Each structure stands twice: as C-alpha cells, then as structure tokens.
Structure 1
Amino acid sequence: MPHPAADLDAVDRSLLRTLQRDARTTVGTLAEQVALSPSPCWRRVRQLEQSGVIAGYHAQLDRHRVGYGVLGFVHLGLHNHTDETTAAFEREVQVLPQVLSCHNLSGRYDYQLEVVAQDLERFSEFVRSVVRNLPGVREISTSFSLKEVKRTTALPLD
C-alpha cells in the first residue's frame, strides 16, 4: 500500500488538522488558516478527497444521547482460518450496525468487535443470537467499557 503521507506538505497537513477538528469549516475559513486564497484551497481539499486521503465527512454522535448505554468488546476465536471462513465472517460482520469496528488481531483471539447496545440485556442477546452464529466462531470473550477516557477519529499529522 502506498504511503501518501510523504506527499503531504505543511499546507495539506494544516488543512487536514483543521478538517479533523471541524469538517464543516468553510473554504473561506480554511483558506485564511493556511494562507491561501479560496480557489487554491478548495482545489487542495478536492485533491485530498480524490486521492483518498480524505475518506469522507461524518457527524460524530453521542451514543448515550441516541440510546446506546453499553459499549462492549467481543473477542472471537475462529474454528479455522481458511480464506472461505474468514471471508464469510468478515462479510457478515460488515452489515451488522451494532458493530462499530472489527479488527483482525494477532495473539490469542482472531478478531475484536466493538459493539454498542441499548443495555446489557440487549448486548447479551446480540452476542448469543448473532455473534455466536457468525461463520467459524469457536470462542467468545466479552468485556465492557466502564468509562470512555478518550475517543477520537483524528489522526496525528505532525
């Protein structure tokens, strides 16, 4: 995979830092912050979007305020690691809206899911009825977030 970071200059990094803080920042404000006129600033942002450096723009929701009181982590071990099993597992995980992230891991477990639920009962039901039935699942271990100390999607650009 290419490393586009080498192609990012100081202006690009400044634009990206600002957009990570507030993606609704206007082109005019961005241009002022990076000492460009609006047209070249807009072209830079478009280039960052087209190259895939900027993958999208999203609203960050407060999970508690939309009814998700539980954040849990589900560690999974698979029966086997064939291409077919892992592809089927990953395909099914992709469509589960309760799963915020899925990581293929090194170490004891094969995957870690970050899962939200309204409450412990619904989390438990999700794990028992959905996660347990995902392709290849052999072993499940769960843990819960007692307190979220930090959450960010902003990448360090220094």
Structure 2
Amino acid sequence: MAEVDETDWHLLGLLQEDARRGYRELARQAGLSPVTVANRVRRLENAGVISGYHARVDPTAAGYAVTAFIVVDTRGRRESLRVADLAKAHPFVLEDHRVTGSEDHVLKVVVPRLADLEPLIDQLNELGKPATTIVLSSPKPWSPIDSPQPMSNH
C-alpha cells in the first residue's frame, strides 16, 4: 500500500474532479511546482493508487435506458467462476462484485431496453439463481474517494 499524504489527497481530489487538468493547473491549485506535481502523480500511478483516467459516460444519455443490479446465488465455485467470466465478456455488464452473504455476485448492468435484459438473465439462470432489481433513479451515481483519515482543510 502506497503512503498517501495530505498533499497527495489534495491532488487526487483535483484529478477526480477533472482528470484533464494538466500539471501546471494542478500545481497552481495545489501551491506546488509542476515538476513536484508530475513526480507525485507518477508515484501514485506506479503504486496503483491512480488506476487510470476515464470519461464518465451517462448511460441514459448514451442510449442505455435501463440500469439494473443482478445478484446471483451460484451453485458452487465452478459456477461462480463462470459468472465472473460471463460478466467480463458481456458488454452490458459494467461491474461484477464477488460478495459475502447469501449471494455470490452483484452485477451492475445497463441495457438499451428492458427486453435486452432477458437473455442475460437466462444465461445467469444456467449458473445459479439471479434476482434483478431495476434502478428507478440514482441520486448519487458516483462520488470521489477522499482520505480515510481526517485531515486539515485543503
């Protein structure tokens, strides 16, 4: 685990707000030199703290009218691994989380139409018992990660 100090968290917050900020802009906002910012960001990337830079796409605006969560209770380890493989390969599955409790996987899925969900559910039925929850709205669809430790104001 990388040591992430208060300055790193400040830079992470700025990058999570807008990953397109350049080193000069980050440096200006953090009160550091661009070279220092570049070194810190590179260190965070190399340590895996920053895992990538992505555009956040609104599924509804992009033509995916339905978002759903599917929990799957599999019949055993082999089926659980097959659910993971199916999730990795299926374009409608955005996330797969292997979880504790009575179910084994929680999948986040987006589809253009409700009817597009049925074939995926049929595939999952062969591996276990899926239960689907349709999302009506997402009051908090995403949130940046902040320091796990209380810190002084940035």
TM-score by length of 2: 0.88
Contact 2:79 2:128 in 1 (8 A): no
Answer yes or no: is 1:107 the counterpart of 2:80: no
Could you tell me which residue of structure 2 aligns to residue 64 of structure 1? 60
Q: Offset of 1:153 from its aligned partner?
A: 4.9
Question: What whole-Å deviation, never above 9, does each CA across 1:95-141 have from its counterpart, x for those lacking one?
Answer: 2121111111222211111110011111123322x3334xxx22111
Identity %: 30
Q: Offset of 1:85 from its aligned partner?
A: 3.8
Q: Offset of 1:51 from its aligned partner?
A: 1.1
Answer yes or no: is 1:125 the counterpart of 2:119: yes
Q: Offset of 1:47 from its aligned partner?
A: 1.0
Q: Unaligned 5+ residue runs, structure 1?
A: none
SS in structure 2 at match of 1:116:
strand
Task: Give 2:31's aligned amino acid.
Answer: A
Question: What whole-Å deviation, never above 9, does each CA across 1:1-32 have from its counterpart, x for those lacking one?
Answer: xx33xx11111111000001100011111001
Post-superposition, which runs of at least 4 consecutive aligned residues in structure 1 deviate over 4 A? none
Answer yes or no: is 1:39 the counterpart of 2:35: yes
Task: Give 2:128's aligned amino acid.
Answer: R
Could you tell me which residue of structure 2 aligns to residue 116 of structure 1? 110
Q: What does 1:16-55 correspond to in 2, within 5 Å?
A: 16-55=12-51
d(CA) in 1 for partners of 2:14, 2:89 = 31
Q: Unaligned 5+ residue runs, structure 2?
A: none
Aligned length: 148
| Equivalent in 91, 96, 101 of residue 90 of structure 2 | 96
Could you tell me which residue of structure 2 aligns to residue 139 of structure 1? 129
d(CA) in 1 for partners of 2:93, 2:144 = 20
TM-score by length of 1: 0.86
CA RMSD of aligned residues (A): 1.5
d(CA) in 2 for partners of 1:76, 1:132 = 9
